[in-house]
Amino acid sequence: MCYRLIIPVILVFSFLQLFPAKYAWGSTPETDAPSAVLMEASTGKILYQKNPHKRMAPASVTKVATLLVAIEALKSGKVDWADKVVTSEAAWEMGGSEIWLEPGEEMSFREMMIAIAVGSANDACVAVAEHIAGSEKAFVDLMNQKAKELGLKNTHFVNVHGLPAKNHYTSAYDMAVLCREAAKHPEYLKLTGIKHYYKLRGGKTKLDNTNKLLWWYDGTDGFKTGWTTEANYCLASTVKRDNLRLICCVFGVPEPGGHFNESIKLLNWGFANFAYQEVIKAGEVVGKVRVGKGTADYTGLVVPEGVGVLTRKGEKIDVKTELTIPEIINAPVAKGQKAGELKLIVNGKVQQRIPLTVQKGAPRCGFWQQMQKTLKTMAG
Give whole-number Cα distances, 281 to 213, 277, 313, 372, in Å.
28, 11, 21, 38
pLDDT at site 26: 47
- CA nearest neighbour of 292 among 262, 324, 256, 333: 333
Question: What is the rounded average pLDDT of the residues 61-67?
Answer: 98
Could you give the angle at which helices 172-182 and 136-149 cross, rounded to 10 degrees?
100
d(CA 279, CA 344): 9
3-class state of residue 252 by DSSP? strand
Banded model confidence at residue 277, pLDDT cuts 50, 70, 90:
confident
Return the minimum-mean-pLDDT range out of 236-245, 251-260, 317-326.
317-326
Question: Residues 252, 174, 122, 238: is their CA dihedral positive or negative?
Answer: positive
**pLDDT tier at 374 (50, 70, 90 boundaries)?**
low
pTM here?
0.83
Whether pLDDT at 375 is above 70: no
Is a pLDDT exceeding 70 seen at residue 372? no
**pLDDT of amino acid 192:** 98
Higher local confidence (pLDDT), 76 or 17: 76
* Digit-coded pLDDT (tens) for 222-243: 999 999 999 999 999 999 999 8
Residue numbers annotated as active site:
60, 63, 120
Domain ranges of the chain: 2-13+281-378, 31-275
Q: Is 305 exposed, middle or buried (0-12, 13-18, 19+ CB in 10 A)?
A: middle
Assess whether pLDDT exceeds 60 at residue 355.
Answer: yes
- In this prediction, residue 12 carries a pLDDT of 37
Which residues are within 8 A (CB) of 223 and not within 5 positions of it... i.e. 6 or more apart? 61, 64, 179, 182, 192, 211, 236, 237, 238
Rounded Cα gap, residues 50 and 65, in angstroms = 22
What is the mean pLDDT of the segment spanning 354-362? 88
Which one of 26-40, 48-62, 93-107, 292-306 scores highest in mean pLDDT?
A: 48-62
Which of residues 378 and 164 earns the better pLDDT score?
164
Q: Is 89 exposed, middle or buried (0-12, 13-18, 19+ CB in 10 A)?
A: exposed
Mean pLDDT of 73-97: 92
The answer as to CATH 2.60.40.10 being correct for domain 2-13+281-378 is: no
Instruction: Give the pLDDT score at 336.
Output: 87
Report angle CA 307, 311, 317 to the nearest 5 degrees: 85
Which pLDDT belongs to residue 378?
Answer: 65
34 vs 252: CA distance, rounded Å: 6
pLDDT band at residue 13 using 50, 70 and 90 as cut-offs: very low
CA distance 213 to 69: 24
pLDDT per residue over 137-194, tens digit each? Answer: 999 999 999 999 999 999 999 999 999 999 999 999 999 999 999 999 999 999 999 9
Q: Give yes or no for residue 1 having a pLDDT over 60.
A: no
What is the residue-averaged pLDDT of the chain? 89
Instruction: Give residue 294's pLDDT.
Output: 80
pLDDT for the residue 223: 97
Give the pLDDT confidence score for residue 373 in this predicted structure. 58
Q: Is the pLDDT of residue 201 over 60?
A: yes
- What does the pLDDT read at residue 314? 83
Higher-confidence residue: 380 or 1?
A: 380
d(CA 363, CA 331): 6
Query: In Å, how far are 39, 62, 209, 327 from 308, measured between CA atoms?
Result: 15, 30, 32, 27
In CATH, which of 3.40.50.10860, 2.60.40.1240, 3.40.710.10, 3.30.70.980 is domain 31-275? 3.40.710.10
**Least-confidence region, from 49-58, 230-239, 293-302:** 293-302
Q: Which of 205, 223, 196 is nearest to 107 (CA)?
A: 205
Say how far residue 263 (Cα) sits from the centre of its chain.
Answer: 19
Which three-class secondary structure state does DSSP give residue 33? coil
User: Residue 352, SS3?
Assistant: strand
* pLDDT digits 0-9 by tens, 330-341: 889 888 889 889
Determine the average pLDDT of the residues in 310-320: 88
* pLDDT score for 235: 98
pLDDT in tens, 90-105: 999 887 778 899 999 9
Q: Percent of the chain scored above 70 by pLDDT?
A: 89
Residue 376's pLDDT is what?
65
